[in-house]
């Protein structure tokens, strides 16, 4: 069938595009000129439509004639939204994509959101699809992902057949950009991470997410959310797994939380002063102190979602980085491991 994808150059998108092609679908990708990663689509039999989720005309051009549309484009932020672009992309862009599907007659629209669209507190109780949404005190990214879902539901109320999926932290191969998580893995493998942080996160393999996104298009209930979870690991446990996979020593010292927060504030202010993008902020710390249990029973029962072990995902991610030139020192270690 003809399928349209936004965000097809991102980590999930690049995997989804390949899975759709392998299934025999004809794939059309809306690609923003400034965020298009050519390597993500190199050699693939896809139609690329230049455009922007903030440009409804380009969305309609990409979606016209498609039976399914997968909206993955979004902006991740750990430093607020001083220019307003995060909200425009994550909320207005989500609305524009849903409207484009409705107006062009797309049969099914899949909105790929995030586990951050839910309030993770209290952290000691399982988080499921009935949990409340982020409030005014939550980070911008969390609030915009929730608001983006609200925008999609407004279009569902007008007749759009759409479903929403919420992946947790995504890891695995085909991380072309690379993503923030990919950058962290590269820093660990290069011994450039001085210490570990408090907290942890639920990690899910990008390939498992892609399969469940496709399943949502076929079996998901209109208007329903589906949490695509994996396994929770503390930061220290995650670092230990990376060390086991790479045989590269990773830090064990955990910075005291008060020191970590103060350092994050200072680093953010310094980054803003010199005009660079901060990689360590209070919002990043907040993300590591979310719910320790993600209840994915709905996705497991209705979509068949299954998550492989975190160590397998890390091994394939590191192997992929080694084979694509990001970690040449580890290429020999993973000579026989080229993840599919």
- HEC states along the chain? CEEEEECCCCHHHHHHHHHHHHHCCEEEEEECCCCCCHHHHCCCCEEEEECCCCCHHHHHHHHCCCCEEEECCCCCCCCCCCCCHHHHHHHHHHHHHHHHHHHHCCCEEEEECCHHHCCCCCCCCCECCCCCCCCCCCCHHHHHHHHHHHHHHHHHCCCCCEEEEEECEEECCCCCCCCHHHHHHHHHHCCCCCCECCCEEEEEEHHHHHHHHHHHHHHCCCCCEEEECCEEEEHHHHHHHHHHHHCCCCCCCECCHHHHHHHHHHHHHHHHHHCCCCCCCHHHHHHCCCCCCECCHHHHHHHCCCCCCHHHHHHHHHHHHHHCCCCHHHCCCCCCCCCC
| pLDDT confidence band for 340 (50 / 70 / 90) | low
Provide the pLDDT confidence category of residue 83 given band limits of 50, 70 and 90: confident
Please give the residue that has the higher pLDDT: either 82 or 163.
163
- Look over the chain and give the mean of its residue pLDDT values, rounded to a whole number: 94
pLDDT digits (tens, 9 = 90+) for 10-37: 999 999 999 999 999 999 999 988 776 7
Identify which has the larger pLDDT, 5 or 123: 5
The whole-model pTM stands at: 0.95
User: What pLDDT, on the 0 to 100 scale, is given for residue 225?
Assistant: 98
Percentage of residues in the chain having pLDDT higher than 70 = 99
How does residue 274 score in pLDDT terms, banded at 50, 70 and 90? confident
pLDDT at 264: 84
Q: Domains of the chain, with CATH numbers?
A: 2-171+203-229+293-308 (3.40.50.720)
Confidence at residue 36, expressed as pLDDT on a 0 to 100 scale: 67
287 or 147, greater pLDDT: 147
Question: What is the β-pairing status of strands 231-234 and 200-205?
Answer: antiparallel
pLDDT above 90 covers a percentage of the chain that reads 79
Of 263, 278, 271, nearest to 78 by C-alpha is 278
Q: Give the CA distances from residue 40 to residues 15, 52, 140, 327, in Å, rounded to whole numbers and listed in that order.
A: 9, 17, 28, 18
Average pLDDT over residues 220-227: 98
Q: Is 131 exposed, middle or buried (0-12, 13-18, 19+ CB in 10 A)?
A: buried
Please give the Cα distance from 53 to 277 (Å, whole number).
23
Predicted pLDDT at 334: 86
Q: pLDDT at residue 337 above 80?
A: no
Q: Which of 76, 74, 49, 73 is closest to 62 using CA atoms?
A: 49
Residue 268 has pLDDT above 90, yes or no: no
Which pLDDT band holds residue 310 (cuts at 50, 70, 90)? very high
**To which residue do tokens 């079996």 refer?**
219
Lowest pLDDT segment from 41-45, 79-83, 165-169, 205-209:
79-83
Contact indicator for 182, 11 with CB cutoff of 8 Å: yes
The pLDDT of residue 308 is above 80: yes
Mean pLDDT of the 219-242 span? 97
**Tens-digit pLDDT profile for residues 162-194:** 999 999 999 999 999 999 999 999 999 999 988
Q: Can you give the pLDDT at residue 338?
A: 67
Which range, of 11-25, 218-232, 269-283, averages the lowest pLDDT?
Answer: 269-283
């Amino acid at each position: 069938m003809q399928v349209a994808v936004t965000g097809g150059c991102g980590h999930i998108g690049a995997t989804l595009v390949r899975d759709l092609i392998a299934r025999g679908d004809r794939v059309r990708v809306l690609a923003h000129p400034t965020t298009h990663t050519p390597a993500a689509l190199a050699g693939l039999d896809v139609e690329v439509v230049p455009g922007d989720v903030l440009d409804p005309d380009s969305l309609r051009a990409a979606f016209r004639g498609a039976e399914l549309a997968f909206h993955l484009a979004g902006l991740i932020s750990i430093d607020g939204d001083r220019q307003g672009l995060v909200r425009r992309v994550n909320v207005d862009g989500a609305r524009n994509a849903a409207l484009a599907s409705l107006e062009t007659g797309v049969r099914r629209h899949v909105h790929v959101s995030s586990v951050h669209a839910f309030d993770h507190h209290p952290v000691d109780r399982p988080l499921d699809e009935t949990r409340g949404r982020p409030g005014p005190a939550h980070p911008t990214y969390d609030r915009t992902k929730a608001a983006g879902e609200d925008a999609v539901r407004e279009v569902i109320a007008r007749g759009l057949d759409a479903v929403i999926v919420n992946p947790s932290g995504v890891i695995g191969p085909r991380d072309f950009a690379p993503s923030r998580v990919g950058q962290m893995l590269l820093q660990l493998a290069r011994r450039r991470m001085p210490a570990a942080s408090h907290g942890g996160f639920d990690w899910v393999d990008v390939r498992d997410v892609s399969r469940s996104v496709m399943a949502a298009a076929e079996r998901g209930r209109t208007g329903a959310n589906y949490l695509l979870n994996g396994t929770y690991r503390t930061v220290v446990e995650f670092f230990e797994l990376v060390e086991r996979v790479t045989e590269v020593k990773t830090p064990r010292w955990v910075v005291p939380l008060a020191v970590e927060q103060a350092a994050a504030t200072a680093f953010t202010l310094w980054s803003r002063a010199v005009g660079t993008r901060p990689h360590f902020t209070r919002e990043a710390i907040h993300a590591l102190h979310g719910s320790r249990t993600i209840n994915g029973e709905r996705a497991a029962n209705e979509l068949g979602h299954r998550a492989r072990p975190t160590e397998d995902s890390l091994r394939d991610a590191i192997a992929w980085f080694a084979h694509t030139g990001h970690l040449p020192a580890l290429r020999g270690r993973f000579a026989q491991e080229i993840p599919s």
